[in-house]
């Protein structure tokens, strides 16, 4: 009996060590991530000033890390890189026309954090900087949209994949309701006005870079498009906006409007809806155009690499289900069907899954969120309601 017990203990320990070893091999030094939660209220400049003051230390750190990153990539001083970029970037007119309060919010972040305006503005032009840099290999986001059907909720969801220097700076930003805008929950990092988000009316937006589509140095940048959508509650207004605004960067937008989901591929010249015509109504997207043919000259052949492999993975998890539910979406976002091209990316020096979000659009809208890859932590549920007392 003692020998049997000893053998069983040995087998259990061996299995435990093997499991630990497998986890260690996947991520040998997993960071101690903490989702920083912050709340801002008031006008654009006031929100930005609060943002800059509350996250001053973190903004200084991440701006410095970004500068070091671009210096290594472009082999020139970061201040010169910023100067060269703004010789190209002429986004001010579009930002002020369509989202003047957000221009002021960026100015408030700069003042509150003690950073220069241009350093904070370039921080908010993530995709536009990639376009200028012609960075064709930094884009690995995966998005999903599930309409409400047969009594089941509607969802949009995304793994937001970013460069390595951003890890550890995951922020959930809550914007209080005002007389003109709904309460909002936004995934971001210090100094940035938005990555993706959801408002209390069940309007949400997720996006994927489409570097292959044509861009324009005078259009409205991605972060400002996202925040404009989240500031709205009217379906027709949102759909008109996404299809008519001049886009600065090639981008795919999965937009949830209460129980409905829409997918639009936007270039600077046209916006095309993508609909895979699934019986369950689902949409999904990664980082290559499927419906929009307004392509850059260098994109000659259809995507066959990382983006198409991830798209096939998400499609395989979602497309054929009678009703895609919360657990199905999370399984798709945690997938590593192809270890070399996973939907869920462990961070390395090139980057990884910065955060994962599942947004419930119907009933009582809510956000579920992870800091870092969703296979390394459980989703945290975040409800609306804390910001309703403050109005402009």
**H-helix or E-strand containing 376?**
none
* CB under 8 A, 24+ apart: contacts of 60-67: 60/113, 60/114, 60/115, 61/169, 61/190, 62/123, 62/165, 62/166, 62/169, 62/189, 62/190, 62/191, 63/115, 63/119, 63/120, 63/123, 63/191, 65/165, 66/123, 66/165
Query: Residue 253, SS3?
Result: strand
Residues 202-254 pLDDT 10s: 999 999 999 999 999 999 999 999 999 999 999 999 999 999 999 999 999 99
CB 33 within 8 A of CB 371: yes
Residues 109-166 pLDDT 10s: 999 999 999 999 999 999 999 999 987 776 789 999 999 999 999 999 999 999 999 9
- The pLDDT, as a whole number, for residue 31 is 61
Report the predicted TM-score, pTM, of the whole model to 2 decimal places: 0.90
When the pLDDT of each residue in the chain is averaged and rounded to a whole number, the result is: 91
CB 252 within 8 A of CB 264: yes
Given a cut of 90, whether residue 389 has pLDDT beyond it is: no
Do the strands 184-188 and 171-175 form a parallel or antiparallel pair, or are they unpaired?
antiparallel
Given a cut of 50, whether residue 10 has pLDDT beyond it is: no
Sequential DSSP letters for 204-249: EEEEEE-TTB---TTSB-HHHHHHHHHT---HHHHHHHHHHSPBSS
């Amino acid at each position: 009996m003692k020998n049997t017990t000893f053998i069983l203990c040995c087998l259990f320990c061996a299995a435990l060590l093997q499991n630990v070893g497998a986890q260690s091999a996947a991520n040998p030094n997993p960071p101690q991530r903490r989702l920083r939660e912050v709340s801002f209220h008031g006008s654009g400049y006031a929100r930005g000033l609060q943002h800059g003051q509350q996250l001053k230390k973190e903004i200084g750190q991440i701006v410095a890390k970004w500068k070091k990153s671009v210096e290594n990539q472009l082999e020139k001083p970061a201040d010169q890189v910023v100067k060269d970029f703004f010789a190209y970037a002429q986004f001010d007119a579009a930002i002020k026309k369509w989202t003047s309060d957000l221009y002021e919010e960026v100015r408030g972040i700069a003042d509150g954090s003690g950073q220069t305006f241009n350093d904070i503005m370039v921080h908010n032009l993530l995709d536009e900087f990639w376009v200028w840099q012609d960075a064709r290999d930094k884009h690995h986001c995966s998005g999903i949209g599930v309409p409400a059907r047969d009594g089941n909720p509607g969802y949009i969801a995304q793994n937001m994949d970013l460069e390595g220097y951003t890890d550890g700076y995951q922020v959930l930003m809550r914007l209080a309701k005002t007389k003109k805008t709904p309460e909002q929950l936004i995934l971001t990092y210090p100094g940035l006005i938005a990555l993706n988000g959801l408002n209390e009316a069940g309007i949400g937006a997720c996006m994927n870079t489409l570097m292959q589509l044509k861009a324009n140095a005078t259009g409205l940048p991605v972060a400002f498009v996202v925040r404009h959508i989240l500031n709205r509650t009217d379906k027709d207004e949102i759909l008109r906006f996404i299809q008519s605004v001049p886009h600065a960067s090639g981008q795919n937008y999965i937009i949830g409007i209460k129980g409905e989901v829409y997918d639009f591929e936007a270039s600077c010249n046209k916006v095309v809806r993508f609909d895979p015509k699934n019986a369950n109504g689902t949409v999904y997207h990664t980082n290559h155009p499927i419906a929009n043919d307004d392509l850059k000259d260098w994109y000659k052949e259809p995507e066959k690499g990382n983006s198409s492999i991830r798209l096939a993975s998400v499609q395989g998890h979602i497309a054929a289900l009678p009703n895609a539910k919360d657990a199905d979406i999370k399984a798709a976002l945690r997938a590593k069907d192809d270890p070399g091209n996973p939907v869920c990316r462990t961070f390395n020096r090139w980057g990884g899954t910065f955060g994962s979000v599942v947004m419930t659009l119907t009933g009582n809208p809510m956000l579920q969120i992870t800091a870092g890859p969703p296979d390394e932590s459980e989703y945290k549920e975040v409800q609306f309601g804390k910001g309703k007392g403050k109005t402009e």
